[in-house]
Chain A
Amino acid sequence: MVLEKMALVGDALSHVALPGLALGILFNFNPFLGAFAFLFASAVIIWYLGRVTKLPFETIVGSVFTLALAIGVLLIPESDLLEALFGDITKVTILETAAAVVISVMAVLLTKMIYKKLVLGMISEELAISKGINVGRINLLYLLLVSIVVAVGIKIVGTLLVGFLVIVPAAASKNVSADLSKYAVLSASFGAISSCSGILLSSYLNLPTGPMVVFSGIVVFLATVLAKIKAK
């Protein structure tokens, strides 16, 4: 998302999950499925509107996500609102953890498969098409993956903060990467470091997990900024 200059899209997408979560809670099905359905549908709508109207992504996303947030707040029972917004890792079950691991591994493998094609499409759509790559299909698959990953992340840090996990580790990695494999490995590592240290901090200090994850991530980000300044 950071490379596509769609960082804010990633952030806003996470808010879009709220009505999905609400529907899940109201009608007693897994909120994750609701979140994922809303995420994917919005990602496709945003992507399509962007292509058709040529409006900046931020503009379209701004409209779609405030709408989703409004619907979500209306629908969701007040008692569940706080958890949906900020997440609560203490309520994650073993089964959900296992599902998250399986989903994440699959997402990583799929991303690895399309990574080069995706980046080539970002660099030059024409070059990609001239090599026989179906850029439209790759981009759609990519949005699907983002939706899945965001939906998984929501459980831990909530809709408001999951955007952080989409953007900040990747931005930090970009600060210090000169090639694609380093960029991918560091993004994943920074994400993992922020999450783990955030969780540990929150249990040690007895504070909510979401904000602690964000604080740890920001420390990592600032460290990469310093490294970049030093390298110049």
Chain B
Amino acid sequence: MENIDDYVLQVSNLSVKLQNQTILENVNFRLKKGTVLAVVGPNGAGKTILFKALLNLVPYTGKITWTEKVRIGYVPQNIAVDDIPISVKDFLSFENHVDVESSLSPVRLDNKNVADKTLGVLSGGQLRRVLIAWALADKPNVLLFDEPTTGVDHDSEEPIFVMLNELKKKNRITVLLITHDVHIVREYSDYLLALNRCVTFFGESKEIMNPSVQKIIYGETVCAGTPNEDR
């Protein structure tokens, strides 16, 4: 029998309206502990806003229930680092009481080469790793990972997912990730949530190879019973 404690997150009837525009509508899903959920959908589908709602960063209606004692680590799409003289060491010690060396090794960054560098001079892949190290510093049991849509080539992203997968196995972390890459969904996630303002598909990730599912995800699925004009 299913036990309610098996679930780390339950979302019911979640809707988000920002500046009179409906961004998310009636989103329902739940997620088991220790699994990886891939969130997919076209640009503007509300994926990042879903994460923000889960983090309580935007106002929403409906219900978001995290399991007790949840600690969430968040890796945002982008941060503004170009103009700020801030070193990797500075950044990692923000609001975290961590040893810089021990937080860089799980993300496979060499402390000697990276710690004193300014964030603005890191490569896209290195910056992603530093952000992950930051998110992992508080020893979270849930990780929200927002993949950048531009500026990072997919060859440099793959090792990051290999690393996330290892972390998940080792620490039993539940991972929610936003991605545009079918290969990442298939290889590194257990469940798939397709969004296009509403949920267009929720099921096992292997279904992404199913042509009828692909048609739903990448087709012009319109949310049932709602006019499309306010988008």
Q: Which residues of A contact B (CB under 8 A)?
A: 3, 5, 116-117, 119-120, 122-124, 126-127, 129-131, 133, 174, 177-183
Other-chain residue from A131, A178, A179 in contact with B95 (beta carbon distance below 8 A): A131
**A177 cross-chain contacts in B, Cβ below 8 A:** 85
Q: Is the CB of A130 within 8 A of B55?
A: yes
Shortest C-beta distance, A48 to chain B (Å), equals 17
Q: Which residues of B contact A (CB under 8 A)?
A: 52, 55, 57, 72, 74, 76, 78-81, 83-87, 89-91, 93-95, 116-119, 134
A180 with B79, Cβ < 8 A, contacts A120-B94, A130-B57 known: no
Instruction: Please report whether the interface of chain A is mostly helix, strand, loop or mixed according to DSSP.
Output: helix
Cα distance, A116 to B80, chains bound together (Å): 15
Other-chain residue from B52, B79, B89, B93 in contact with A123 (beta carbon distance below 8 A): B79
Other-chain residue from B79, B83, B94, B118 in contact with A3 (beta carbon distance below 8 A): B83
Shortest C-beta distance, B32 to chain A (Å), equals 23
Q: Is the CB of A119 within 8 A of B79?
A: no
Shortest C-beta distance, B47 to chain A (Å), equals 14
Q: Is the CB of A119 within 8 A of B86?
A: yes
**B80 cross-chain contacts in A, Cβ below 8 A:** 122-124
A130 with B84, Cβ < 8 A, contacts A120-B95, A178-B116, A179-B118 known: no
Other-chain residue from A124, A127, A129, A178 in contact with B87 (beta carbon distance below 8 A): A178
Cα distance, A126 to B135, chains bound together (Å): 12
Cα distance, A183 to B95, chains bound together (Å): 19
Cα distance, A131 to B90, chains bound together (Å): 16
Q: Is the CB of A124 within 8 A of B85?
A: no
A126 with B87, Cβ < 8 A, contacts A116-B94, A178-B116 known: no
Cα distance, A127 to B134, chains bound together (Å): 10
**A174 cross-chain contacts in B, Cβ below 8 A:** 85
Q: Is the CB of B74 within 8 A of A179?
A: no
**A124 cross-chain contacts in B, Cβ below 8 A:** 76, 78-80
Cα distance, A133 to B57, chains bound together (Å): 12
Cα distance, A180 to B116, chains bound together (Å): 11
Q: Is the CB of B83 within 8 A of A179?
A: no
Q: Is the CB of B116 within 8 A of A122?
A: no
Q: Is the CB of B74 within 8 A of A122?
A: no
Other-chain residue from A3, A117, A122, A180 in contact with B90 (beta carbon distance below 8 A): A180
**B116 cross-chain contacts in A, Cβ below 8 A:** 178-179
Q: Is the CB of A126 within 8 A of B76?
A: yes
Shortest C-beta distance, A57 to chain B (Å), equals 14
Cα distance, A123 to B72, chains bound together (Å): 19
**B79 cross-chain contacts in A, Cβ below 8 A:** 123-124, 127
Q: Is the CB of B87 within 8 A of A180?
A: yes
Q: Is the CB of B95 within 8 A of A129?
A: no
Q: Is the CB of B57 within 8 A of A122?
A: no
A123 with B81, Cβ < 8 A, contacts A133-B95, A178-B116, A180-B90 known: yes
**B93 cross-chain contacts in A, Cβ below 8 A:** 116
Q: Is the CB of A179 within 8 A of B55?
A: no
Q: Is the CB of A179 within 8 A of B86?
A: yes
Q: What are 14 A-B interface contacts by the 8 Å CB criterion?
A: A119-B86, A120-B95, A123-B80, A123-B86, A126-B52, A126-B55, A126-B57, A127-B76, A127-B79, A130-B55, A130-B57, A130-B74, A178-B117, A179-B116
Shortest C-beta distance, B111 to chain A (Å), equals 15
Q: Is the CB of B72 within 8 A of A180?
A: no
**A181 cross-chain contacts in B, Cβ below 8 A:** 90
**B87 cross-chain contacts in A, Cβ below 8 A:** 178-180
A127 with B74, Cβ < 8 A, contacts A116-B95, A120-B94 known: yes
**B83 cross-chain contacts in A, Cβ below 8 A:** 3, 5
